[in-house]
Amino acid sequence: MKTALMGRFAKRIGMSDLGLSHEGDMGPARFRIEILAGLTVALALVPEAVAFAFVAGVNPLVGLYAAFIVGLVTAVIGGRPGMISGATGALAVVMVSLVAQHGVEYLFATVVLMGIFQLLAGVMHWGKFIRLVPHPVMLGFVNGLAIVIFMAQLGQFKVPGSMVNTGHGMSGGEWLPMSELTLMLGLVGLTMAVIWMMPRLTKAIPAPLAGIAVVAGLVIALGLDVPRVGDLASIKGGLPAFHIPTVPLTLETLQIILPYAVILAAIGLIESLLTLNLVGDITGKRGGASQECIAQGSANVITGFFGGMGGCAMIGQSMINVKSGARTRIAGIAAALFLLSFILFAAPLIEQIPLASLVGVMFMVVIGTFAWNSLTILRKVPLTDALVIVLVTVVTVQYDLAIAVVVGVIVSALAYAWNNAKRIHAIERPSVTEAGAKVYEIQGPLFFGSAEGFAELFHVDDDPDTVIVDFAESRVVDQSALQAIERMAGKYEDAGKRLMLRHLSRDCHRLLSKAGHLMVDSDDDPDYEIAVDYDVKTGILGAGH
């Protein structure tokens, strides 16, 4: 009866909306896994949201509300079932200066504008450009983020209140006394051991949840004096209320919030789309980039009007979720609702959870997130790819994810352009169609990087009166290539020699026609079934071989 009811419910709202392939997937066992995974994620979200609120310089409830609203909206309409979103450190470090200079109301207005930009990105289908991120950049991204997650946990081993906000996160501070530090490390180790052993005993309960439960029960039963969630801040509060940001609707306000909104939107989308790919690799799903942009934008617009600090996808919590067995949207929805219930009803109980258990969970996330195989392949992959992996890792740790990804893509693109620039060469041979003519068979792409090398292939003074340039194995890519052809044609014309272009593909013809100087007024030959010759000197287009 219970299975039938859940089946009818899943069918009514649409199996694809739940992230399920067919009705039979949603049985009692699957439902239990999703709910328990959501509970595990919600427990891990609490200290993260509070800590990121402190980094941004806002009330802890501002971070918790963002985690609830962003998490709920993206779980319902996001591009990948299994992803978890909420308040993140990558966004918090950008927000801190805005809050310090202009106050929290300007932050809410910025989050709304950030969401609008992300919605536009989704509508324009810009999410597809994430496919341009090379694999070495992805490896550097996960390695850097794993290190960042690890470093963020170190603050739990320091005396509360001793750390300072530098504008780039919390740093400094005094370590706990040796006795407390030893106990803390022991509890962290116990949590990690339970998480490691639990899958070998049973998979009925997510291993991270079991680790939290065992350590929390031990601490409470023995009355151990260790840092707990309540030591960070009280998480008790009410329902988030609708609130229009109280900022002047002036051009000056727009000038203040616009730069922050653009940066936050870019960082949020980059981190979300990379997490989308990472979760997709684990769950075997693809696509959904534009839908994820729309989900992130919608979530941030809503959270800005309900007193939240905004957010994006969280790789750590997403890894906890999928490693706990979650594969549908139910886990993300459950995590958001559990978080809200903590705020409304269960704050005193949640505040008793030892931070050591949550740190242990995050340490296991670090171990599972770091691409350990990248350490062994550094010696096997091309040097450029190895440098990109290391570079993106370092920049992610030192600055932020968005800068790291942009730097990695630029370096990879330049390396690709340089490698292709060296591929340009020509095979010289006599023509079989034009008596006494010489043919240059161009090999490799002709673009800005290879334009200079292209010019060096020709011997104007030594060539015969008729020269044929064959592009069957080449492509004219950009304006620099057109200029290179025109300069070369001009040299032959000045020498009183006849130059013909052969085997230009359809896109090459369009580029040459747009150039204005090399007019092509006939159809092209993209399949190379016949040859098309263009006489640069006479402007005559004719058929050859």
**pLDDT tens-digit readout, 15-55:** 444 555 443 466 888 999 999 999 999 998 998 888 788 87
Q: Convert the pLDDT of each residue in 428-481 to its tens digit.
A: 988 877 788 999 999 999 999 999 999 999 999 999 999 999 888 888 888 888
Q: What's the gap between Cα 495 and its chain centre?
A: 55
**Hey, what long-range contacts does 49-54 have (CB within 8 A, 24 or more apart)?**
49/86, 49/87, 50/229, 50/232, 50/233, 50/235, 51/89, 51/152, 51/155, 51/170, 51/232, 52/87, 52/88, 52/89, 52/91, 52/92, 52/309, 53/87, 53/92, 53/309, 54/165, 54/170, 54/232, 54/233
The pLDDT of residue 514: 62
Kindly tell me the burial class for residue 249, based on how many C-beta atoms sit within 10 Å of its own C-beta (0-12, 13-18, 19 or more).
exposed
The pLDDT of residue 3: 43
**Tokens found for residue 1:** 């009866």
Checking phi first, is residue 440 left (phi over 0); if not, alpha (psi -120 to 50) or beta? beta
Q: Convert the pLDDT of each residue in 207-217 to its tens digit.
A: 899 999 999 99
Q: Convert the pLDDT of each residue in 392-431 to its tens digit.
A: 999 988 887 778 888 999 999 999 888 888 889 999 988 8
Q: pLDDT-derived band of residue 187, with 50, 70 and 90 as boundaries?
A: very high
Handedness of CA 334, 339, 342, 345 (dihedral sign): negative
Give the neighbor-by-neighbor strand order of the sheet with 466-473: 425-430, 438-443, 466-473, 498-502, 531-535, 540-544
Compute the distance between CA of residue 137 and CA of residue 274 in angstroms, rounded to an integer: 10
Global pTM reads 0.76
Give the closest residue to 440 by CA, choosing from 482, 499, 382, 385. 499
Task: For domain 425-544, give the CATH number.
Answer: 3.30.750.24
Say yes or no to pLDDT of 258 above 90: yes
The count of C-alpha atoms lying within 13 angstroms of the C-alpha of 505, restricted to the half-sphere facing its C-beta, is: 12
Give the closest residue to 310 by CA, choosing from 117, 142, 129. 117
The pLDDT of residue 47: 87
Compute the distance between CA of residue 340 and CA of residue 330 in angstroms, rounded to an integer: 15
Residues of the chain with pLDDT > 90: what percent? 48
